[in-house]
Amino acid sequence: MKATANHISKVKHYAAQRSIRVTEKTLESVGRLKTAMTDIANFFLFVSATFKAMFSRDFEFREFMRQCYVIGNRTLPLISVTGIIMGLVLTIQSRPVLIKFGAVSMLPSMVAISLIREMGPMVTSLICAGKIGSGIGAELGSMKVTEQIDAMEVSSTHPMRFLVVTRVLACIFMIPLLILYADALGIFGSWVGVNIKGDVNIVLFFSQAFSSVEFIDFIPAFIKSFFFGAVIGFVGSYKGYNAGKGTESVGRAANSSVVIASLILIIVDMVAVQITDMIPS
């Protein structure tokens, strides 16, 4: 009887401990969900404050132009290499399949449509999220840690207008241009890939590439590229502007800017594809 009583007490103690652990995990999950919802709400408040500062007086045009130059200058070499490799790899992978069906003459137009509609905007935006988004998050995060933003708030300089608005608008303006540049280099890389095992004139290749491209192929991709730029600018600025204390928060802001911006870019692209699919051709 005594052994049975000890066994029952042990079972009750184990059940109580397990119940406590389950309760702690539930509270932890609820806390994480609450933190995530609060972060989303703060992000939309940040976007609202940015739009208010964007349409206010005393626009920082010189800083905006400097940010456009910095974003383009930092990203242009990487985008150049990425664009050429996109077209080259797509051509090398697609050419053997088209040869089997006797449709190798459709290769230029297929590559052009693939790059213009989807691959060019998506891959270029992800590259820019890694390069530009992390740079904005780290730069504003370091300014937040060293209390430079607090000093600007005390002085007559408006930090939202000077730091955030200029970077967001620069991303919205420069990302579409970088995507167009990557598309052009991707088609050029496709021509290089075709000439690895053949001999095609570049003028003939480009004429064939754009023979099947219509206006409706270009406009949706160009429009969504502005949203891609806005996502990169807003996420990077928000994470950097609201970085915590300590030097480790700078790296955390840069890392989260890349991860969250990339995830939102994929979601925005999925929504854009669904909307474009509903448009009658």
Cα distances from 137 to residues 95, 108, 249, in angstroms, run 41, 39, 10
Measured distance CA(135)–CA(129) in Å, rounded: 9
What b/e readout covers 33-69, taking b as 16+ CB neighbours within 10 angstroms?
eeeeeeeeeebeebbeebeebeeeeeebeebbeebbe
* All structural domains of the chain with their residue ranges: 1-55, 57-278
Structure tokens at 156: 């007559």
**DSSP letter assigned to residue 195:** T
Per-residue pLDDT for the chain (281 aa), expressed as one digit of tens each? 545 555 556 544 544 555 555 466 666 777 777 777 888 888 889 888 888 888 877 778 888 999 999 988 888 999 999 999 999 998 888 888 888 877 777 888 888 888 988 888 999 999 999 889 888 988 888 888 888 887 887 777 788 888 899 999 999 999 999 999 999 999 999 898 888 877 888 888 888 888 888 888 788 888 999 999 999 999 999 998 888 777 788 888 888 889 999 999 999 999 988 887 776 65
Count of Cβ atoms closer than 10 Å to residue 255 Cβ:
14
